[in-house]
Amino acid sequence: MQNKQWILNSFPVGEIKENDLILKDSNLGEVNDGEVLIKNVYLSLDPANRGWMSGKASYVDAMQIGDIMRGGTIGIIEESKNEKFKKGDAVQYQGGWQEYCINDGMGLRTIPLNTGLELPSFLSVMGMPGMTAYFGLLDVLKPKENETLVVSGAAGAVGSLVSQIAKIKGCRVIGIAGTEEKCNWLKNDLNVDGVINYKADNLNSALKELCPNGIDMYFDNVGGEITEAVINRFNIGGRMSICGQISGYNSETLQPGPRNWINILVKRLKVQGFIVFDYQARAKEAFVDMSKWMAEGKLQHKNHIVDGLENAVSSLKMLFSGENKGKMIVKISDE
Amino acid sequence: MQNKQWILNSFPVGEIKENDLILKDSNLGEVNDGEVLIKNVYLSLDPANRGWMSGKASYVDAMQIGDIMRGGTIGIIEESKNEKFKKGDAVQYQGGWQEYCINDGMGLRTIPLNTGLELPSFLSVMGMPGMTAYFGLLDVLKPKENETLVVSGAAGAVGSLVSQIAKIKGCRVIGIAGTEEKCNWLKNDLNVDGVINYKADNLNSALKELCPNGIDMYFDNVGGEITEAVINRFNIGGRMSICGQISGYNSETLQPGPRNWINILVKRLKVQGFIVFDYQARAKEAFVDMSKWMAEGKLQHKNHIVDGLENAVSSLKMLFSGENKGKMIVKISDE
């Protein structure tokens, strides 16, 4: 049985180029006792994927040349020799950029049926982006009612959920995104209090206008100049949670800290990085609240689903150009 | 009656130069009802003074050209028309770089007599540096027993107290300083667990050797490359309190954030700036503990006292060259 796989062929320098990843056919082995054969259906594409390809260990081990490209997936069990799973079960796991996977059951989470939620939701609002938004906002920033929150990457998979959860918690929310379409979605559908198109607007003056009482919290998905502009407008005692730094992921050199770093001292800021994996043990808290808010119609989300594993690289690149419209997902096969 | 005063004559660019501050004679006015005449005895010199001269507001209002140079002082009441003070009282206050001051009593703290402590202690261990060390370590970093703490500027007024309080709390303490003499004092007298002379040693390899289990906490007085080296060696979940950034205070441009900033995300670090003034309301907590530890012989401190108000500028500059040996104080007159 043949299995199409994306293989890391070279560590990208700057933007991902043709031949950094190559699509290959391989032979799928046998399903041994204790193992399951999984057909991958949906593949999650996330900004963090770029860092995994760098050849440098970070919060995960470094990928090696020749490895199957890593990625979060949803798959359907096709054959099971593991008593914990049966044919037809839907599972969420790190299945990688491939059509099939033989797995010993470690790291598979069965997706509950009859929730009324479509499968891709478990890669977005009920998956890693949802947990990231939930804990990065509620546990790291600890918002209080009426505080002003700025979110960068606000129309993205994580940012759009952060914006909505913060509204549920009674905050004033200003979203930063890179197109008018995204800004309109944030403003008209997600009801954030103000939007900034960082490609069109002057960041400093827009933040001044939209945050007349300063900024209390910043949920950072991007880093770079946007972060510097927010720091300039922070109130004393402001809090900042660092979730992602996408503006620097394609850079050949490390993206340096903000040039106005001294404000961390002068304004007594609290800056904290976090990784969603650290919250695995508390995942249930997020699922309970998120599904309740979804049922109440308080959480919207958008999936941008591209058909075909062969389009995974071009789809990943859309995250960096900002062309994606919602959570980026590749559909590998039919459910 | 004549009063010698240091006047801000120009905003320094880079290092403080001759004529940025000039020593002038002025006439002392009359002591009106409600006022006191104070003879300044000791003047505190601190790295933060440089920032106050920049012409830019920070956590304090900007100084203006023509202002008396700001500084913390200890003075003796010479004449009182304020019922709260009597002749001979010792007071601590922001008296500025001058021989005398007429004050309406606002902002004066009477120094208790019969404590057995010499007056300059109230500008160091029992003054602002002591409170800075106490709250910056215990409230911001919240050390736990057996954790590894790195302190930069470790032989300074604040750093040397941080190092000792951390030892009292059962931490493993590594001190960074700029001369062998300072390192020897830290190691032999203050009993820190390891020392690094940042001017002679390779920072990265020294930190690796002295912190075999990584770094849990960093008390930062300096910023710049030392901070970057510490970040490289931080454990996951490491905490950093930013007290000062002296390595950048003479720079004409803002000292940028660390080039390895991405580690705040990857290592889930918590970075927090603080200003001692925010802890005024809790000062007593510090005084109680600090005086107890002093009485128990657990806190040593060194004052570097220079005679004569005319030497204030050259003494301030010693803080930036690292020539000072202990808390820098100018003796303006006899007690």
Question: For residue B226, which of B165, B150, B155, B158 has the smallest C-alpha distance?
Answer: B150
- Cα–Cα distance between A148 and A161 in angstroms, integer? 16
Q: What b-and-e string marks burial along B123-135, b requiring 16 or more CB atoms within 10 Å of the CB?
A: bbbbbbbbbbbbb
- What pLDDT, on the 0 to 100 scale, is given for residue B55? 85
CB-CB under 8 Å, B258 with A244? no
Residue B59 CB partners (closer than 8 Å, separation 6+): A266, A267, B275, B277
Give the residue from B245, B271, B278 with the most A CB atoms within 10 Å of its CB, the best one to mutate: B271
* Residue in A255, A265, A273 closest to B269 by CB: A273
From residue B230, give the alpha-carbon distance in Å to each of A310, B82, B198, B233, B255: 43, 51, 12, 5, 17
**What pLDDT band is residue A1 in, cutting at 50, 70 and 90?**
confident
- Cα–Cα distance between A198 and B184 in angstroms, integer? 53
Single pTM value for the model: 0.90
A251 touches chain B (CB under 8 A): no
pLDDT for A248 beyond 90:
no
Q: Name the β-bridge partners of A93.
A: A73
The minimum CA-CA distance between B169 and chain A, rounded to whole Å, is: 24
CB-CB under 8 Å, B248 with A264? no
Residue A153 zone, left/alpha/beta (φ > 0; ψ -120 to 50; rest):
left
pLDDT for B266 beyond 80:
yes
Instruction: Convert the pLDDT of each residue in A51-65 to its tens digit.
Output: 899 888 777 888 999
Instruction: Convert the pLDDT of each residue in B285-313 to its tens digit.
Output: 999 999 999 989 999 999 999 999 999 99
Residues 52-111 (B) with a CB less than 8 A from some CB of A? 58-59
Instruction: Convert the pLDDT of each residue in A281-291 to its tens digit.
Output: 999 999 999 99
CB-CB under 8 Å, B261 with A256? yes
Tell me the torsion sign for CA atoms B61, B125, B166, B247. positive
* Residue in A255, A264, A272 closest to B242 by CB: A264
CB-CB under 8 Å, A255 with B256? no
pLDDT for B250 beyond 80:
no
pLDDT for B18 beyond 90:
no
- What pLDDT, on the 0 to 100 scale, is given for residue B64? 95
* Residue in A259, A260, A271 closest to B264 by CB: A271
Q: What is the mean pLDDT of chain A?
A: 94
Give the residue from A262, A274, A278, A279 with the most B CB atoms within 10 Å of its CB, the best one to mutate: A262
* Residue in A259, A266, A275 closest to B256 by CB: A259
The stretch A164-181 carries a mean pLDDT of 97
CB-CB under 8 Å, A267 with B245? no
Give the residue from A61, A266, A267, A279 with the most B CB atoms within 10 Å of its CB, the best one to mutate: A266
- What pLDDT, on the 0 to 100 scale, is given for residue A177? 96
Structure-block tokens of residue B79 = 């004449």
- Contact between A55 and A44 (Cβ < 8 Å): no
B10 touches chain A (CB under 8 A): no
The percent of residues in chain B predicted with pLDDT above 90, rounded, is 86
* Residue in B245, B259, B264 closest to A262 by CB: B245
B265 touches chain A (CB under 8 A): yes
Q: Are strands B234-242 and B270-273 parallel, antiparallel or unpaired?
A: parallel
pLDDT for A255 beyond 90:
no
Q: What is the mean pLDDT of chain B?
A: 94
Instruction: Convert the pLDDT of each residue in B128-164 to its tens digit.
Output: 999 999 999 999 999 999 999 999 999 999 999 999 9
pLDDT for A202 beyond 80:
yes
Residues 23-62 (B) with a CB less than 8 A from some CB of A? 58-59
pLDDT for A252 beyond 80:
no
B320 touches chain A (CB under 8 A): no
* CA-based nearest residue in chain B for residue A275: B268
- What pLDDT, on the 0 to 100 scale, is given for residue A288? 93
Q: What b-and-e string marks burial along A275-289, b requiring 16 or more CB atoms within 10 Å of the CB?
A: bbeebeeebeebbeb
**What pLDDT band is residue B39 in, cutting at 50, 70 and 90?**
very high
Between B324 and B73, residue with greater pLDDT: B73
Question: For residue A139, which of A34, A10, A279 has the smallest C-alpha distance?
Answer: A279
- What pLDDT, on the 0 to 100 scale, is given for residue B332? 98
- Cα–Cα distance between A299 and B309 in angstroms, integer? 66
> With 0-12 CB in 10 A as exposed, 13-18 as middle and 19+ as buried, what is B274?
buried
* Residue in A255, A259, A265 closest to B273 by CB: A265
- What pLDDT, on the 0 to 100 scale, is given for residue A268? 97
* Residue in B257, B262, B274 closest to A248 by CB: B262
The minimum CA-CA distance between B57 and chain A, rounded to whole Å, is: 10
- Cα–Cα distance between A259 and A239 in angstroms, integer? 18
- Cα–Cα distance between B159 and B220 in angstroms, integer? 9
The minimum CA-CA distance between A120 and chain B, rounded to whole Å, is: 27
Q: In chain B, what are the domains?
A: 2-124+302-331 (3.90.180.10), 128-277 (3.40.50.720)
- What pLDDT, on the 0 to 100 scale, is given for residue A184? 97
The minimum CA-CA distance between A306 and chain B, rounded to whole Å, is: 29
Contacts A262 to B, Cβ<8 Å: 245, 248, 254-255
pLDDT for B252 beyond 80:
no
- Cα–Cα distance between B226 and B198 in angstroms, integer? 8
pLDDT for B1 beyond 90:
no
CB-CB under 8 Å, A271 with B271? yes
B269 touches chain A (CB under 8 A): yes
Residue B138 CB partners (closer than 8 Å, separation 6+): B165, B169
CB-CB under 8 Å, A272 with B270? yes
Counting one residue from chain A and one from chain B, the pairs whose CB atoms sit within 8 A come to 98
Tell me the torsion sign for CA atoms A201, A203, A208, A213. positive
- Cα–Cα distance between B308 and B310 in angstroms, integer? 5
Say what the ipTM of the complex is: 0.88
> With 0-12 CB in 10 A as exposed, 13-18 as middle and 19+ as buried, what is B225?
middle
- Cα–Cα distance between B20 and A141 in angstroms, integer? 43
- What pLDDT, on the 0 to 100 scale, is given for residue A253? 74
Instruction: Convert the pLDDT of each residue in B215-239 to its tens digit.
Output: 999 999 999 999 999 999 999 999 9
The minimum CA-CA distance between A116 and chain B, rounded to whole Å, is: 35
B194 touches chain A (CB under 8 A): no
The minimum CA-CA distance between B22 and chain A, rounded to whole Å, is: 28
Secondary structure, 3-state, chain B: CEEEEEEECCCCCCCCCECCEEEEEEECCCCCCCCEEEEEEEEECCCHHHHHCCCCCCCCCCCCCCCECCCCEEEEEEEECCCCCCCCCEEEECCCCECEEEECCCCCEECCCCCCCCHHHHHCCCCHHHHHHHHHHHHHHCCCCCCEEEEECCCCHHHHHHHHHHHHCCCEEEEEECCHHHHHHHHHHCCCCEEEECCCCCHHHHHHHHCCCCEEEEEECCCCHHHHHHHHHEEEEEEEEECCCHHHHCCCCCCCCCCCCHHHHHCCCEEEECCHHHHHHHHHHHHHHHHHHHHCCCCCCCEEEEECHHHHHHHHHHHHHCCCCCEEEEECCCC
CB-CB under 8 Å, A268 with B271? no
* Residue in A59, A257, A273 closest to B258 by CB: A257
Contacts A256 to B, Cβ<8 Å: 256-259, 261
The minimum CA-CA distance between B270 and chain A, rounded to whole Å, is: 4
A266 touches chain B (CB under 8 A): yes
The percent of residues in chain A predicted with pLDDT above 70, rounded, is 100
Our measurement of the distance from residue B254's CA atom to the centroid of its chain's CA atoms, rounded to an integer in Å, reads 21
A310 touches chain B (CB under 8 A): no
Structure-block tokens of residue A116 = 């009324």
Secondary structure, 3-state, chain A: CEEEEEEECCCCCCCCCECCEEEEEEECCCCCCCCEEEEEEEEECCCHHHHHCCCCCCCCCCCCCCCECCCCEEEEEEEECCCCCCCCCEEEECCCCECEEEECCCCCEECCCCCCCCHHHHHCCCCHHHHHHHHHHHHHHCCCCCCEEEEECCCCHHHHHHHHHHHHCCCEEEEEECCHHHHHHHHHHCCCCEEEECCCCCHHHHHHHHCCCCEEEEEECCCHHHHHHHHHHEEEEEEEEECCCHHHHCCCCCCCCCCCCHHHHHCCCEEEECCHHHHHHHHHHHHHHHHHHHHCCCCCCCEEEEECHHHHHHHHHHHHHCCCCCEEEEECCCC
Question: For residue A140, which of A279, A291, A292 has the smallest C-alpha distance?
Answer: A279
Contacts B256 to A, Cβ<8 Å: 256-259, 261
Between B60 and B170, residue with greater pLDDT: B170
* Residue in B261, B268, B271 closest to A278 by CB: B268
Question: For residue A269, which of B238, B123, B275 has the smallest C-alpha distance?
Answer: B275
B222 touches chain A (CB under 8 A): no
The stretch A223-238 carries a mean pLDDT of 97
B209 touches chain A (CB under 8 A): no
The stretch B170-194 carries a mean pLDDT of 97
Question: For residue B215, which of B232, B190, B202 has the smallest C-alpha distance?
Answer: B232
Contacts B274 to A, Cβ<8 Å: 265, 268
- What pLDDT, on the 0 to 100 scale, is given for residue A56? 83
Residue identified by tokens 């006015």 is B29
- Cα–Cα distance between A319 and B159 in angstroms, integer? 45
Instruction: Convert the pLDDT of each residue in A110-121 to its tens digit.
Output: 998 888 889 999
- Cα–Cα distance between B28 and A183 in angstroms, integer? 63
Residue B4 CB partners (closer than 8 Å, separation 6+): B23, B24, B25, B98, B99, B309, B310
- What pLDDT, on the 0 to 100 scale, is given for residue A249? 78
